[in-house]
Structure 1
Amino acid sequence: MADIEEARAQFQRIDTDGDGFITAAEFKKALAQGGDWNVTDSVAEAIIAARDTDQDKTLSFDEFWAHLSKA
């Protein structure tokens, strides 16, 4: 299981505008910064959608943490 404080720090790094939600664009940018340049907009949107339990097309920290804590 992931550490919640580490997850919160990672979430905040990805949430570049600081609004408390990760968009597909922010997620794609974070992956690119990590060296994964091959992620397309549609792939980033699909990854977000797969974890987006309230279907608002963004990830809240709770959704982000729920996914990490399953691993």
Structure 2
Amino acid sequence: MADIEEARRAFDRFDLNGDGRITATEYKSAMAQLGDFYVTETVAEAVIKTKDANGDGELTFEEFWDSLNKRAKPAAEPA
């Protein structure tokens, strides 16, 4: 499971305007600041869409946190 304080710091780095939501534009911009200049608006929208539980095109911290925890869970063992 991810550490919630680390997750909050990561979320805040992406939430450039501090409104509590990450848009595709913010995601793309934050990735560029981190050195990944290959993330286009289309790619950013696709990434957001995979984690966006309510379908509004933006990520809240709760959606961000949930996506981290889903990824961190080990795969189920085959029976």
Fold equivalence (TM over 0.5)? yes
Q: How does 1:23-38 map to 2 (within 5 A)?
A: 23-38=23-38
Shift of 1:30: 1.0
Q: Aligned Cα RMSD in Å?
A: 0.7
Q: How far apart, CA to CA, are the structure 2 residues paired with 1:39 and 1:12?
A: 19
Higher-strand-fraction structure: 2
Could you say which structure has the larger radius of gyration? 2
How many residue pairs get matched? 71
Highest RCO, 1 vs 2 (Cα 8 Å, sep ≥ 6): 1
Structure 1 unaligned blocks of 5 or more: none
Please identify runs of 4+ aligned residues in structure 1 that moved more than 3 A: none
Q: How far apart, CA to CA, are the structure 2 residues paired with 1:12 and 1:34?
A: 14
TM-score scaled by structure 1? 0.95
TM-score scaled by structure 2? 0.86
